[in-house]
Amino acid sequence: MVRIITDSAADLEPLEYERLNVTCIPLRVSFGDGEYQENVNLSKEKFYELLLGSEEFPKTSQASPAILEELLAEAKAQGDEAIYITLSSALSGTYQTACMIAEDSEHEGAHIFDSRNATGGQRMLVEYACRLRDQGKNAAEIVAGLESIRDRVELYACVNTLEYLHKGGRISHAVYTLGSLAQIKPIISVDTEGRVALPAKVMGMRKGMDFLCKRLGARKPDGDHPVYVMYTNNRSVAETLAQRMAANGWEIPDGRIIQVGAAIGAHVGPDACGVVYIGE
């Protein structure tokens, strides 16, 4: 048996992890003196409530190493292989820590896979790993399959406010002030190295949605994988994007509209929307 493990940056909901038979390690989020664990005592809805109501900028941190140590020890004892699909190593030290834990576990069947992505991009890799597992593939075959699509993940989002990019140190105060006055909406993406990039800036959310729709035309989705629309806090923005995409020939079922959690949501703030898919 192959056990699939990921962390809460993959942004599946608790019932989805259960349905897929995936173990989720919760990342930690703190607001001042208050510390939470995603999907344990912090839902996505509660996170945005705190984000909008707190003067403290949230800090995200790795899960306790003991959780992965226990999971790998249990897998080894039961003769199972395990694959841990982590948040991008360019965004967190989770991958590096997991590699050390796996080495210390002396479990030859333990594999640590750097998603080089987050939120919907990481989710797509987790879902594909589950598909391969359910086809009877072993851990090495699953990792090879993940490697074959990792660099084809296309993730783009339009950010409605510069406030959180500024608070998180992603942009300067001058850029924040001028951009806010001009109603500039940055387009963010995750590059093939797993880093957050700012490939474009547009005037207003409408043009931002136009940009996202054009991305689907520039590099068409691989029909063997789903297309997801993402949002932060405000689902109506995602529904508007889905309608725009449908008008351009890309139908998005209601179940493929997903909410972004703390790992990325802390930096983009509310009312953002995006699209993620595997390119051809």
CA 267 to chain centre: 12
Angle ∠(123,267,213) on CA atoms, nearest 5: 60
Domains of the chain in start order, with CATH, are 2-27+62-150 (3.40.50.10440), 153-278 (3.30.1180.10)
- Per-residue pLDDT 10s for the chain (280 aa) are 999 999 999 999 999 999 999 999 999 999 988 999 999 999 999 999 999 998 888 988 999 999 999 999 999 999 999 999 999 999 999 999 999 999 999 999 999 999 999 999 999 999 999 999 999 999 999 999 999 999 999 999 999 986 776 666 655 554 555 555 557 888 989 999 999 888 888 999 999 999 999 999 899 999 999 999 999 999 999 999 999 999 999 999 999 999 999 988 988 899 999 999 999 9
Rounded to a whole number of angstroms, the CA Rg of the chain reads 19
If one counts every other C-beta atom within 10 angstroms of the C-beta of residue 167, the result is: 16
Which residues, in sequence order, are CB contacts of 97 under 8 Å at separation 6+? 62, 65
pTM summary value:
0.94
- Gap between the Cα atoms of 181 and 42, Å rounded: 34
CA 241 to chain centre: 19
- Gap between the Cα atoms of 272 and 232, Å rounded: 5
Strands 59-61 and 153-158: unpaired
